[in-house]
Amino acid sequence: MTKNYLVTGGAGFIGSNYVHRLLKRGEKVTIYDNFARAGAPRNLEWLKQEFGESAFEVIVGDVRDADRIAESAKQSDVIVHLAGQVAVTTSVINPRDDFECNALGTFNVLEAARLSGRNPIFVYASTNKVYGGMEDVELFEEATRWRYKDLVNGCPESQPLDFHSPYGCSKGTGDQYVRDYARMYDLPTVVMRQSCIYGPRQFGIEDQGWVAWFIIAAEMRRNITIYGDGKQVRDILYVDDLLNAYDLAIEKINISAGQVYNLGGGPENVMSIWSEFGPKLEKLIGDTIEVARGDWRPGDQRVFYADISKAAKELGWAPKINVEAGVQKLHAWVMENKNLF
C-alpha cells in the first residue's frame, strides 16, 4: 500500500538518495528543505530529471518554522527527519544556530507529527556523536589506526551518552525527545545513531562528509588538511545500506517503535581517515597526494565504530557494501560528475 512520506532535508545527500528510492517504488513523497546546503539545488534538479517535476512535492521551508512544518506534516504516514546542521566545527563556531536547527528543529517536527493526529512513523537521523569522546573506554594505538581495547564489536547502544560538543548536545537533545515521544505520546518513533555515511550525491566539504570530501578534493586538486594524527578510526556505511535499515525499521515498526539503533559499517568496515584511506585514494587516482597537517579538532573521537548487532537481531539488517566496493563506487560517481564540483 502506497504511503505518504515527508522527508525533511529531502534534497540533501541522504535525503535525495532516499527520495529517489521511494519514488522509484511508487510512494508519494514531499520534500521539505530550506536549500541552504550548496548541493541541495543540484540534488533537486537530479530528482526532477529522473522523475519529472510533478512526481513529488517540494516545500521550501525551515524546520525552525513550527507553523510551516506542522502544516506540511498533516497528511504524512511516515516522516523521515534528516534536516539539520551537520558539522561539529560549525556548531562550535555558531552554537545558537546549531541548537535552533537541531534541537528546536527536531522538537518542531515531532510536534508536527503529534498534532497531525495521524500517528505517523517517525525516523530520526541521530549521530554517533551523542556518545561523546568515550574517555572511559580504553584505546590502544597500532601502526595505522587507533582501536578499542575491549569493545571488540564496537560501541553498543548502552554506552552512556556524553554529548561533548554543541553538535552532540543538539543532536542528543533531539535523540532524547524522539525516544520520549514514543513513551509519552505513543508515537512510533525510531532513532538511528548513524556513523559516517558516504555515497553518491554527497557534496562533501572539509567539515562534513570526509570520505566524499577527500575523493573530490584529490580529484579536483584542492588542498587537503589532515587534523590530528590521521589514525582516527571510523566505521563507514554506504548510503544504500543505511536506506535499507530505514526501510526495515518502517516495515517492522511493531518491533522498532521506541527503539534506538546504531547504524554504521561495524567492526568489519572500519578505516582510519588518512593513514589507511590516503594510500587507497592515491591508488585510485594514480598519483601522490600532498596534505597539510593541523591540530586535533574539538570533539574529534580517536575511535568510533558501532556495535550493529541490535539492528541485525531485531531488523535482520547488515551492511552489504564493504569499504573497498563503496569507496570505488563513490569515486566512480565523482569521476562521472566532475562538472558538479
Element (H, E) at 211: helix 210-219
Q: pTM for the whole thing? A: 0.96
Comparing CA positions, the residue from 18, 11, 61, 7 lying closest to residue 37 is: 11
The string of pLDDT tens digits covering residues 141-188 is 999 999 999 999 999 999 999 988 899 999 999 999 999 999 999 999
The string of pLDDT tens digits covering residues 102-124 is 999 999 999 999 999 999 999 99
Comparing CA positions, the residue from 230, 227, 228 lying closest to residue 280 is: 230
C-alpha cell at 313: 537481531
Query: Residue 66 CA to chain centroid, in angstroms?
Result: 23
pLDDT band at 88 (very low <50, low <70, confident <90, very high): confident
CB atoms within 10 A of CB 97: 15
CATH number of 4-340: 3.40.50.720
Contacts of 133 (CB under 8 A, 6+ apart): 162, 164, 299, 301
Active-site residue, from 131, 167, 181, 238 = 167
Q: What is the pLDDT of residue 205?
A: 87
DSSP 77: S
C-alpha cell at 71: 502544516
Rounded CA separation 30/299 (Å): 34
Residue 241: C-alpha distances to residues 144, 236, 246, 277 (Å): 26, 11, 9, 20
Half-sphere exposure of residue 33, counting CA atoms within 13 Å on the CB side?
Answer: 27
Active site residue 167: yes
Contacts of 26 (CB under 8 A, 6+ apart): 2
C-alpha cell at 289: 597526494
Residue with more model confidence, 88 or 255: 255
Going from N- to C-terminal start, the domains of the chain cover 4-340
CB atoms within 10 A of CB 46: 18
Element (H, E) at 45: helix 40-51
C-alpha cell at 155: 560501541
Residue 114: C-alpha distances to residues 74, 105, 314, 327 (Å): 10, 14, 26, 40
CB atoms within 10 A of CB 141: 12
DSSP 241-277: HHHHHHHHHHHTHHHHTTEEEEES--GGGEEETTTTH
Contact 224, 292 (CB under 8 A): yes
pLDDT of 299 strictly over 80: no
pLDDT band at 26 (very low <50, low <70, confident <90, very high): very high
pLDDT band at 208 (very low <50, low <70, confident <90, very high): confident
